[in-house]
Structure formats: structure tokens, C-alpha cells
Chains A and B, each alone.
Chain A
């Protein structure tokens, strides 16, 4: 051994001053005499990300126990109480003020997510099989199988090393699915990014060591590509938002869906079971990810955390996945969870919090020698899964591990004591009664929001054709094809409705639909992210996001009564009252829409402190919510794409068009930052979606496309990108507000609207179905030409060759990626 023991001693730290080292591998920390300030200093020194109040609460717990904590225990508590794991802002008491009115909210999560969803569960017995407590929520597919969806963010790691950050982000959420129930099979992934514009000038980046948005985009896409493709999970769904506010804090959402036999959803740990781990080895490479992601970024974090960057190893995870699914099918798994934030400490903690048991750190295979107890226990090294199994299953499990070439270790035992005990080198380094750790102090917070919009005169549209070209070339709208083609979106052979489809194979679709092996039913995946709306009207953003996601799913053929959704929030500084106010309003918006649509939340996540100290002061992201969702499609014939199919069909518009332009790409291009944002008429929308579903069941709908970014004109253009025919449209009978502007008619983004294509002989039937609801015939497919022609009564607003429009749209991103 050449370990140097006599080097120059560094200046004494707070940790040294209170530590007693009974052994080399762990320490007892005398915290009972420290005051609040010193406790907070200790938290910062150890990178625990615990507040002074938290540290005082911990001190009190240990005073009750009449002993001092070990460093392992403090790390475990820090993980358990971290924002990442505990979501303490969503559980906080918030004094909220909206346009001068005050209210108190006790837990955003309970009030607007949990309670709302549970009311829906009660209305729809048997639909949601599991929500909020497992790694992902499950909904019923058919008699035998259930599907689930989970989304996560990996923002801070992706800002520092985009490839590695995105790659481990996707790897992590895939493990969530593998650890859902007794192991669900991952069947499709989604990825949603928010970046600065790819053409951002270097001089406009006001901080050192911040990567250019293009570098971030390229790295993130390749990271998702290399992990998803190697795992053999199709990346089928996604979105990208470009906005300067994301230059310093890019957002990277990764989500994965899974399928499981219903009998394998419930899982339980019992006394006498063995705790085992499979997959990758444990190293120092993954220390302090959970607490790191609960803190803001600055230039220093780019330098300091260079040690923390992990790169994923998808083949390691693929081997573990093959093992898990085979073991589940053989009935060898009693409980399983992934090793994510907090590593073994949270996986074992979750597994043993009620039952109790012992984890033996000597069993862990290490990547490097000399790791101390807390490092092993909280390391977030990738590609590891933790299972509880019956002792008699061990030989069969070992055989499977050999077969799939993954390492299996016996980590410990569940014993029914209710105590989480950790041993290392023959000593107990942690002994915690987890039931005593649930009472992290509840935060008291303040928030306020005041209306940011005002009545704005809509701009005159002088050359609508030019405006349409400009929209189709906008980064918000241009085709994501260069990126989509880098992802294998057809592996597993079940991608029925692909992200790019239609007769030409490259036209955009609203949702993607997967066939599920062993079922006649299919699963649709959709998503919505509308940060531009939230800048001025976060409540409207919330309702519109739920509406858009829901509408995509319905459009693709899903049953509107069998849809479940996820909420994934990102925001800047929650201690800023205005920013927190925007969050509160967003949450209220999604809650009211979810309840009206009967679409429960089954899982969600949040990411805070997405702000950055630049040379010119802090820059926060706008409150950004991703609403993603899954819907059940009853049969393959219901699957409906978004591209024009026949050259003799007719077109109709479902939904009401409002005069407001706020939040639209058009408004952004014209500099109308404060324009009022459209609201969502939830009851009418839901009624329309039910009627639409009846039309689907009757086989009336040839294709359907939601009206979203770019408004009706862009929607029609996108439908025509299949190349099958031109379009002749007249807007004169579009259901709309009185005194509509051309701008709002053509380019406004009012929610709840769908353009549908039907055979001429079916138009009347469809119109009858929509009696009393906003519905109008729009025009016809024109086989005789290939122009998009849009009239408003006698006036021709747009008459543009579709191939020219398509070429603008198709090539907009290609030069950057």
C-alpha cells in the first residue's frame, strides 16, 4: 500500500472539528452542541443541501434519540429530505396572492394533483391501477395488461455535459419503468427539450463556461440517441422549444412508457427476503447528484462539478433489463426499484422503510478501492437495480444473471424490525428508524401573481402568404426531422403511428401510437409544452397544455375516457414570489383541466432552481410545464394520423376560434408580448372530443390534426405536406368571436380545435354529430392542384404552392443539426 497518510494537513474544517472517527470508513458527527449557523455551515460543507431549519430539526431528532449521527446517517437524511426526492416545495404551505386576492394553499401537490386525481379515480373505478407511490403510474390496457408512463428532467447535468446529461437522463427514466411494479417492459420514450436558439450569437451569452445552445442541442440529441437506440426502446415522441431564457438553463425532459401484466403490479417486501442488486458497479462517479439538482447553477458549478459527470453505459442497462424482465416472467421478483437519486440509500430506504433490514456495504462491488461507507451508500452510479426476492429464488436468479452477463450481489436482508441498518467492515455505520424521518419541516412560502396581459390591437395582415412562410420557417415550427431520424423510432416493431408519417412519410403527426404485444388495444402517447403562454398567463398555459396533450391523444384515436396524464414542472427560483406565483397559477390551470377532462395525473416530477447568475444578474427560465399523457386506443382501425389522405375529401374544423393572439408564434414574431392569451372552454371541448371519438368509432375520420403552433393556416399546410392534394379552404363560416381579425383567424392558437378530413359523403353525418357544438365545414382537398389556398369569403388570403411551403418547413433545422 502506498497510501499517503502524512501529507500536509489542510486547514481544519467544520467537519473535522466535530468528527470522531471510530474507523477509517465512517465518522460520528457531534452536532448536538452546534448552533443553527454552524449546522448550516456543516450542511453546506457536506453538500447536503439542507436548510438551517432542516438541520435544526435533525438535531432535535437526534436529541430525542440521545445520540449523535454518523456521516452515513446525515447523508441518508439529506437524500430523503432533498427537494429531488421529497418535493418539499410542492408540499409547502403557500400564502398566495392573485391579482390582489389572498389565499392559503396547504400543499400544491395534495390540493391540485393528488385530490383531483383521486376524485377522478373514484369516478372511473378500475382505470388507474396505481398512482403516485410506485416509480410510475399504471392504467388498465385490457384484462391482462397495464401500461405506464414516467417522465423526468435532467437539466443541470445536461447544461454541464449535454451528451452525458441527456444520456443518463434517459437511462434513469428507463430504470424507473424497469422498477415499476415488479418490472415493466419499456416500450417507448419521449424527449422534450428547451434550448436557446441554435443561431444565438456567442456575444449574447453573458457568462463564462456556458455552452452554446447548438452544442447543447447536438450533445443532448446524441445522448438520447445513443442510449435509446442501444437499449432498443423506440424514441417516438418529443418537442423542442427555443427561447433565449433557456440559454443558461436548458431543459431536458426524458420519459418512457412501459407495459406490464396486471398481476405483476403489486409488490411487497417481507421479513426474510433477500435484498439483491444487479447491473453496474458502484463508484465515486455518482456522488451528490440528488442534492446537486436541488441547487442553482453558476459558473462555478460548471468548474466544480466536473468530477460529478457520469456517462451512461446502455449495454450495462440492457443486460440488467433483460435480466429483470426474464426474472419477472419466472416469478422470481417480490419487489424492485431503480437506483436513482440517492443510490442504494434511497432504493434500500424505499424498500426497507416499513419492513426494516440490513444492508451490508461489503457486498458491493466497487469501481475503485477505498470508498468510505457514505460514498458507497449514496453513490448514484448508473445502471443499477435493487430487488427483494425470496431466498429460495436466489439460485434461479444467479443463473439468469450469468445468462444475461450482469453482476448480481446480495446486498442484505429484510427483517421486519422497521429499522434500516447499514453495516460496513463489520460495524454498524447507520441505524435509522425510517418512520421517524417523514416529518421534514414543512416550508412556509409566499407567492403572488398579477395579470401581465393587456388588450392589444391585432396587427393588420397584409401578406398572409408571407406570414405563413415566415411561421413555417420559425424554429418553433420547423420540422424536427433531422433529429427524429437519429432516433430509432421503430425498434420493437410496434410503432403504428410514427412521429413522421403520411403518404410521403415525413409529415408531422399529433401523437404516436404503439401496438402492444399480446393485446388488441394500442397505446397513444402525446405531450404539450407551451412556455410562451406562461410568461403572461400561467393559468391559461396550464389549461392549454392539458388540453393540447389530451387533444393529440384523442385525435390519434384514443378513447377520451381512458386517458391519464403526467405533470413535469421546471422553474427558476421558488423563493422569488412572482416566479412561485406563476407556478401556483400553472398548477391550478392543469388541475381544473384535468378534472374537467377526467384525465387523472398518475405521476409527476418537478425541478427547481433553474436559474443562473450571469454577468448581468440572475436569469430564470419561465415556469415550464410538460404535460405528457397516454391514452388507450380500442382497436387498430381507430388509429388516425394527421396527414391528408384523399384528393377528393372535405375538411371541417372542430372548435371555436378566439380573437386573442397571446402565446402564439405569430404574436412572438410580431413582438406582441402582452397580447391576451386564449382561454380554454373545458366543458365544450370535452363534449366535442367525445363526439369526435364517436366519429372515429363510426369510421368517419380519415385524418385529423390539432391546431397548435402557427394556428389554422400552419395546421392546414402541415396536413397537406403528405403531397396527396392541394387544399381549397374558406374561413367564412369558422365558429369564432365577433369581430375577428385575419391574424387571429389564420394564425391564432386558440385551444381545443381540430381540423378533420372526411369523405364527402360523410360530412353531413359528422355535422349532425356536432349539432350544437362549434363545428364548420372548411373546404375540400383539390386533386387538380398542389396549392394551399385559403379564402375568407371573396378575399383570397393565401395561395401558396405546398412544395415551397414544405421545403421551408423541412429544411429549417437541417442546417443546424
Chain B
């Protein structure tokens, strides 16, 4: 079975997207970052959800979204990227190591894929190539762009 969880921060204000780029854009954009966890598992879904909440979510500063729909709305586009197969994902390693140490998790975690999502607001969807160029590196990352609508 496959479940998707996306975690967003409640208190982090949208940032100036020019800070992510080598050269500033003509029309400024802002961004917010979230993290998306894609889990393949066997067993009780409730146990998985409890694990996710206990391990990954900070109820004070974060919000958890389950399912396929993007957590945020009104974006121009979303750049989603993560470690490509074979490249070390330190967060994933930490989570998997902790999971393996749990005595009776109640579910079997088959695989975990972590993706960073950058929601870009304002500006134009045509700028996505520049964000890919300046943020992603084919040496370690793979990525995809989610367009609005």
C-alpha cells in the first residue's frame, strides 16, 4: 500500500525566491517549502499514521496533510525534488534507523521516499527552468514540476 504525507510549517513566512537563484528575477516571486513523505507499507494504516505523527510531525509548528493533493494552494508552480536513487538521504536514513529499532511497529515500512517541495508564488510558470538550474543538481537530485491547475 502507498500513502502520501506532506508536512508544512505554520510559522515560516514566504521567503524571497531570489535568495534561491543566482541572479534575481525581474518580477519577484516568493516561496514556501514543505516536505513530502511517500511511504510503501504493509499492515495497519493507523499504526503507520501514528508513526508518522510521532516521528515526523511537530503539532505546535507544523501541519500534516494526507493524500495526493498539494498542501498549499494558489501557487504558480511547485518544484519537487529529492535525492536520486543511490544518493544518500540523511533524513531518510535517520527515520529508517529509528524505525528498525522499534519493537512492534504494527506495520512494515517497505520504502520511504522524501521529496522537498518548493511552492512558488507570483511571477510566471516559465521561470521553473531557472529554479531547477539553480537548485537541483543532476549529480544527486531528481525533480519534477507541478503546474498550477
Nearest chain B CB to A383 CB, angstrom units: 11
Q: How far is the CA of A202 from the CA of B139 in the complex (A)?
A: 20
B23 within 8 A of A: yes
Given contacts A214-B22, A309-B87, contact A160 B139 (CB under 8 A): yes
B25 within 8 A of A: no
B102 within 8 A of A: no
Evaluate contact between B88 and A311: CB separation under 8 angstroms.
yes
B86 within 8 A of A: yes
Evaluate contact between B137 and A161: CB separation under 8 angstroms.
yes
Task: Name the contact of A215 in the complex, choosing from B22, B93, B140 (C-beta under 8 A).
Answer: B22
Q: How far is the CA of A84 from the CA of B90 in the complex (A)?
A: 29
Q: How far is the CA of A214 from the CA of B87 in the complex (A)?
A: 23
Q: How far is the CA of A211 from the CA of B141 in the complex (A)?
A: 15
Q: How far is the CA of A305 from the CA of B86 in the complex (A)?
A: 13
Evaluate contact between A212 and B139: CB separation under 8 angstroms.
no
Interface residues in B7-41 by Cβ distance below 8 A to A read 22-23
Nearest chain B CB to A384 CB, angstrom units: 14
Evaluate contact between B134 and A212: CB separation under 8 angstroms.
yes
In the bound complex, residues from chain A placing their C-beta under 8 Å from that of B134 are 212, 215
Nearest chain A CB to B96 CB, angstrom units: 13
In the bound complex, residues from chain A placing their C-beta under 8 Å from that of B87 are 309, 311
Chain A residues in the interface with B (C-beta under 8 A):
160-161, 164, 201-202, 211-212, 214-215, 219, 284-285, 302-303, 305-307, 309-311, 313
Contact with A along B124-141 (1 / 0, CB 8 A): 000000000010011110
Chain B residues in the interface with A (C-beta under 8 A):
22-23, 86-88, 90, 93, 134, 137-140
Task: Name the contact of A311 in the complex, choosing from B22, B23, B140 (C-beta under 8 A).
Answer: B140
Nearest chain A CB to B26 CB, angstrom units: 14
Given contacts A311-B90, A313-B90, contact A306 B22 (CB under 8 A): no
Evaluate contact between A285 and B86: CB separation under 8 angstroms.
yes
In the bound complex, residues from chain B placing their C-beta under 8 Å from that of A219 are 137
Question: Which chain A residue has the least Cβ–Cβ distance from B21?
Answer: A214
Identify 9 residue pairs between A and B in the complex whose beta-carbon atoms are under 8 Å apart, listed by A's number: A161-B140, A164-B139, A202-B22, A212-B22, A303-B138, A309-B139, A309-B140, A311-B88, A313-B88
Question: Which chain A residue has the least Cβ–Cβ distance from B137?
Answer: A161
Q: For chain B, what secondary structure do more than half of its interface residues adopt (helix, strand, loop), or is it mixed? A: loop
Q: For chain A, what secondary structure do more than half of its interface residues adopt (helix, strand, loop), or is it mixed? A: helix
Q: How far is the CA of A307 from the CA of B86 in the complex (A)?
A: 8
In the bound complex, residues from chain B placing their C-beta under 8 Å from that of A202 are 22-23
In the bound complex, residues from chain B placing their C-beta under 8 Å from that of A302 are 139
Nearest chain A CB to B129 CB, angstrom units: 12
Q: How far is the CA of A313 from the CA of B88 in the complex (A)?
A: 8
Q: How far is the CA of A373 from the CA of B58 in the complex (A)?
A: 46
Question: Which chain B residue has the least Cβ–Cβ distance from A285?
Answer: B86
Question: Which chain A residue has the least Cβ–Cβ distance from B87?
Answer: A311
Evaluate contact between B139 and A161: CB separation under 8 angstroms.
yes
In the bound complex, residues from chain B placing their C-beta under 8 Å from that of A161 are 137, 139-140
In the bound complex, residues from chain A placing their C-beta under 8 Å from that of B88 are 285, 310-311, 313
Q: How far is the CA of A680 from the CA of B138 in the complex (A)?
A: 47
Question: Which chain B residue has the least Cβ–Cβ distance from A165?
Answer: B139
Nearest chain B CB to A780 CB, angstrom units: 44
In the bound complex, residues from chain A placing their C-beta under 8 Å from that of B22 are 202, 212, 214-215
Instruction: Select the residue from B138, B139, B140 with max chain A CB neighbours within 10 A.
Output: B139
Other contacts beyond A161-B139, A164-B140, A311-B87: 10, CB < 8 A: A160-B139, A161-B140, A164-B139, A201-B23, A214-B22, A284-B86, A302-B139, A303-B138, A307-B86, A313-B88
Q: How far is the CA of A202 from the CA of B21 in the complex (A)?
A: 12
Q: How far is the CA of A215 from the CA of B87 in the complex (A)?
A: 19
Nearest chain B CB to A287 CB, angstrom units: 12
Nearest chain B CB to A541 CB, angstrom units: 31
Instruction: Select the residue from B23, B137, B138 with max chain A CB neighbours within 10 A.
Output: B137
Q: How far is the CA of A556 from the CA of B123 in the complex (A)?
A: 51
Q: Which 5 A-B pairs have CB atoms at the shortest separation, nearest pair first?
A: A161-B139, A311-B88, A212-B22, A309-B139, A214-B22
Nearest chain B CB to A301 CB, angstrom units: 11
